[in-house]
Structure 1
Amino acid sequence: MTMLLTSTGGADLWAQVTDRLHADPGSVPHGPGVVVVLAIVVAVVLVPTWWTLARVGVTVVHELGHGIVGTLCGRRFTGLVLRGDMSGHAVTVGRARGPGRILCTWSGYPAPAVVGAFSLHAAGGGWAAPVLAGTSAILLVSLVRVRSLYTAGVMLGLTAVTALLWWWAAPSWQGGVLLGTGAFLLVGAWKHLAAVLSQPGAGSDPAVLATLTPVPRWLWNASFLAVLAASSWWAARGLLGMG
C-alpha cells in the first residue's frame, strides 16, 4: 500500500512537471500588457541606480555565452566570476588558439541580444513556461562553476526566482516576465557593446580576438553590431506580432 501511494505521488508530481513544460496561449502578452512591460524595461534602463543593479543579468548571459559556446567547441567551462561593479569573466580551458578559442571569445557580446530576441519570440508563442524551466536548469548547472561568494549569491537568487516563476506564477505573469527579460537583455546588449566601443581596453573581447587572429578589432566590433542589429530586427517582428 505504501509503495502504491509513493508511486501515485511520483506520477502526480511528474504529471505536474510535464504540464508545466507545454506552451500556453494564456501566457502570450497582448496590447496594454506589452506596453506596460516595455515601459518598466525603459525605466530600469534609464534610471542609473536601477540599471546599475539590474545589469548584472546582462553580464550573466554574456559570461554564460562564453562558457556554453566554449563547451560546445570542446573546451572545459571551469569558472564563473561576477564582480560588484557588475563586470565578470568566464574561465574555459582548452587550446590557447584555434577556432574553439575564437568562437568562445566572440560569443559574449552577441549572447544577450540573441537570448533576448529568442525570449521575446518565446513569450509571443506562449512558450514562457518551458523557457523558464530550461533557464532554471542552465542556471542550476552553472552553480558548480561559481568562484566567489558574490557570484554564488547572484546565481542562487536568479535560479530561485526563475524556478519559482516557472512553478508558481500564473501564465500571464510568466509571459510578461519573459517579455520584459528579453527586451531588457536586448537593450542591455547594446549598452554593453557601446561601453566597449567607447572605452576599448587591451583585455576586452574584441582586443583579444584581434590578437588571436589577423582580423582587426574594428571588424570584430562590426560583427557584434551585425548580430545585435539582426537580433533587434527579429525581436521587433516578434513585438509586432503581440500587438
Structure 2
Amino acid sequence: MDLPTLGHEIVQRLLPDAAPATGWWVPTALLVALAVVVLPTWRLARLAVTIAHELGHAGVGILMGRRFTGFVVSADMSGHAVTVGPRRGFGRVASTWAGYPAPALIGAVLAQIALHGWAPTALFVALVVLVLALVFTRSLHTLAAVLGTAAGVGALWWWGSPVLTAVLTLAGGVFLLLGAWRHLGTVIRGGGRTDDPAQLASLTPLPGWVWTLSFAVVLAACTWWAWTGLAPHLLRLV
C-alpha cells in the first residue's frame, strides 16, 4: 500500500459514519458489558477501568498546571499516577478527585458516540491517548497493559466492520460506566488511607464520605446521560 492510499484509508476511518439502525446490536452490547463486569472476566477486564482512572488523575492534573511524570498499574489491577506540583491547593485536590469519575465520564461519552455514528473517530482518539500514555508507563506490567489495550483498540479501529465497531464501542462504554460503579463500591465497602477519598480528606476540611458522595453524584449523572441515549433504542425494540 503506497502512502497516498494509506493516507486515504486513515482519513476514511476518521470520518463519522451512520450508526447501525436500531436492532439487536444495542442489547447485545449491553449484555456483553454486563457479563464482563459480573463474571470472572472482571479480574482482567478491570484493567481498562484502572487505566482510565489513572489517566483521569493525569489529565486533570495537567489541566491544573501540574506535571505528569508517570503512572503504574500493579499486578492486582490497582494503579498509581504521579503529578508534580504544589503539595496542597486546588490543583492537587482536583487531580486527586478526578480518578473515580473518569471511567464513568469516558464510558458515557463512548456510549453516546457509538449511538451517533462517531465510534471510529472515538477509537482513533483513544488509540492516540494510549500511545502517548506509553511514554509515561513506569513498569513492565504497566507497559504491557497499555500496549495490549492500544493493540486491541487499534485493531478494532482499522479492521472492524461498522456494526462490530459500534457494538464493541458501546459495550466498552457501558463496561467503563458499570466498572466505575464497581470500583466505587469497593471503596465504600472498605477503603483504606491510601484511597482517593481518604487523601482528599487529608487535603481539605471535608471528610472522606463527602468526597465519596461526590463521586456517586457524578457517576449517577453519567449513567443518566448514557441512559438518555440508550432508552430510545431499547424502547423501539419493545
Partners of 1:206 and 1:29 in 2: CA distance: 42
Partner of 2:143: 152
List aligned pairs for 1:1-243, cutoff 5 A: 9-25=2-18, 27-28=19-20, 30-47=22-39, 49-243=40-234
Structure label with greater radius of gyration: 1
How many angstroms does 1:31 deviate by? 2.3
Change (3 A) 1:29 1:180: farther
What does the per-residue CA deviation read over 1:161-197, in whole Å, with 9 as the maximum and x for residues that have no partner?
Answer: 1111111111111111110000100000000001001
Separation (CA, whole Å) in 2 of partners of 1:101 and 1:55: 26
**Residues 81, 146 of structure 1: 8 Å contact kept:** yes
> Identity over the aligned pairs, expressed in percent?
47
For 1:59-116, what per-residue CA distance to the aligned partner results, in whole angstroms no more than 9, with x for missing partners?
1100110011111111111111011111111111111111111110000000011010
- Structure 2 Cα separation of the partners of residues 112 and 155 of structure 1: 15
Unaligned runs of 5+ in 1: 1-5
Give unmatched runs, 5+ long, in structure 2. none
Q: CA deviation at 1:120?
A: 0.3
Using structure 1 for the length normalisation, give the TM-score: 0.93
Cα deviation for residue 241 of structure 1 reads 3.3
In 2: Cα distance, 1:29 partner to 1:110 partner? 31
Cα distance per residue 1:207-239 (max 9 Å; x no partner) = 111111112211111110110000000011111
Cα distance change of structure 1 residues 188 and 29 upon mapping to structure 2, 3 Å threshold: farther
The code of the aligned residue for 1:35 comes to P
Residues 142-176 of structure 1 show CA distances to partners (whole Å, capped at 9, x for unaligned) of 00111111111111111111111111111111111
Any conservation in 1 of the 2:28–2:167 contact (CA below 8 Å)? no
Q: How many residues end up aligned between the 2 structures?
A: 234
Question: Which letter does structure 2 place at the counterpart of 1:51?
Answer: W
Counterparts of 1:61 and 1:83, CA distance in 2: 14
Moved over 4 A (4+): none
Which whole-Å deviations, capped at 9, do the CAs of 1:18-66 have from their partners, x for residues lacking one?
11111111x446321111221122221111x211111111111001100
TM-score by length of 2: 0.95
Alpha carbon RMSD of aligned pairs, Å?
1.3
